[in-house]
Amino acid sequence: MAHFLHMVFSVTLLCVTITSTWAANCINDASCNGHGTCPTACTTVCSCTGGYGGDDCAVPPVCTAGGSECGSKGTCVTATSPYYCSCTEGYSGTLCTVAPICTAAGTQCGTNGDCTTTASPYVCTCKNGYTGTLCTIAPICTATGSQCGTNGDCTTTATPYACTCKNGYSGTLCTVAPVCTAAGTECGTNGDCTTTASPYVCTCKNGYSGTMCTTPPICTAAGTECGTNGDCTTTASPYVCTCKNGYTGTLCTTAPICTAAGTQCGTNGDCTTAVTPYVCTCKNGYSGTLCTTPPICTAAGTQCGNNGGCNTCGTVPSCQCNGGYGGNTCSSAPACSYTGNECLNKGSCNTTVSPYTCDCAALFTGNTCSVYNSGHHVTYFLASIIFCVFGSVLFM
């Protein structure tokens, strides 16, 4: 849900964000926290009402159609959920209270940037290779300079300027020498120096690997290193053992956990042998390597309590929590809420995790950021005492 806190600037972008692949589909109307309905269980997110948003309608609107929450520098957009402030005149922020860093007629961007005012917030568009918020960071090289040395050229077609290396060199200023040369023997008899691009690299052969092609292959075409449950693949370097019969491991020595005719997966799983390694494919809501872990909830059960429901949409049922609650059975209460002030000392409520937790500012800890962490001040205080005591002794 973190994407809702960033105040998107177009309806299209907001829609794309809401329907991203990680969206938590609802399982019933209770999933929508009282601010929406579940159109189709297991396949859609909540359809929110009243300006609320988020997959589970837990994100409250920051403004209303007739309200003044957005101030004089913004308007409340109610065509989508959640309602949000669309800022004007370069202002930004949730309620359009953050002034622009530059203006069309101003000089905030200096001589190496121009203020772009086609959208909010206004930003400095840098030139002459400069970068930074206000275009104050100078480029690392110039068109007529020698910063890139004899093994690089300064590319000035885009900002920031950058050194484009040659002769196999690399690095920000093209000072890192290549590991090999075209006429050299650095790559040994089991590699060739590839010089078609910078940096130059050793391209290994004969199954060898490593930066300088000094690491021998673990197997050979005519060898038996891979045993009876693997074959040595020599079509590329390094050579590798390609396992079969469900075996795995570098040399195919690790036996499969189950077999087609075996009962290792129990009554709640089947051994899948179509690929290597063989694995137990669980059923009846069970999970685990051997399908021995029972489901934590059932569709008709009450295991998830009053703050969640059992999500049986997938293979393994799980509790889908509401209202900021978390935990396997939705029994962990949130430390804070979207609109509350539970997080003290400039802390903020992290609603992207379950249960909701407080992200504390520096020096503060605790569930609600109420604990002042004075450890480093104690160290400083003790050091001051020691200095005072010994200093007094020295100057007596």
pLDDT at residue 23, rounded to an integer: 57
For residue 122, pLDDT over 70 is answered with yes
CA distance 208 to 318: 47
Among 23-32, 52-61, 221-230, 324-333, which is the least confidently predicted range? 23-32
pLDDT digits (tens, 9 = 90+) for 267-307: 999 999 998 999 999 999 999 999 999 999 998 899 999 99
| Averaged pLDDT score across all residues of the chain | 89
pLDDT band at 375 (very low <50, low <70, confident <90, very high): low
Instruction: Give the number of residues written for the chain.
Output: 396
- Label residue 205 exposed, middle or buried (CB < 10 Å: 0-12, 13-18, 19+): middle
136 pLDDT exceeds 50? yes
Q: In this model, does residue 144 exceed pLDDT 90?
A: yes
CA dist 110 and 125 (Å) reads 11
Tell me the whole-structure pTM to 2 decimals.
Answer: 0.69
What does the pLDDT read at residue 352?
87
> What is the distance between the alpha carbons of residues 87 and 62, in angstroms, rounded to a whole number?
13
User: What pLDDT, on a 0 to 100 scale, did the predictor assign at position 395?
Assistant: 43
User: Which tens digit of pLDDT belongs to each residue from 312-337?
Assistant: 998 899 999 999 999 999 999 999 99
Dump the DSSP string for 251-288. Answer: TS-BPPS--TT--TTGGGEEEE-SSSS-EEEE-TT-BS
- DSSP annotation of 350 reads E
Distance, in Å, from the CA atom of 353 to the CA atom of 330, rounded to the nearest integer, reads 13
Residue 384 has a pLDDT of: 47
d(CA 23, CA 17): 9
Span 247-265, pLDDT tens digits: 999 999 999 999 999 999 9
Q: 287-305 in b/e burial notation, b at 16+ Cβ within 10 A?
A: beebbeeebbbeeeeebbe
Give pLDDT tens digits for 106-120.
999 999 999 999 999
Categorise residue 12: left if φ over 0, alpha if ψ from -120 to 50, beta otherwise.
alpha
Q: How far is residue 147's CA from residue 143's CA, in Å, rounded to a whole number?
A: 9
Average pLDDT over residues 141-149: 95
Element (H, E) at 321: strand 318-321
pLDDT in tens, 15-30: 223 333 345 899 999 9
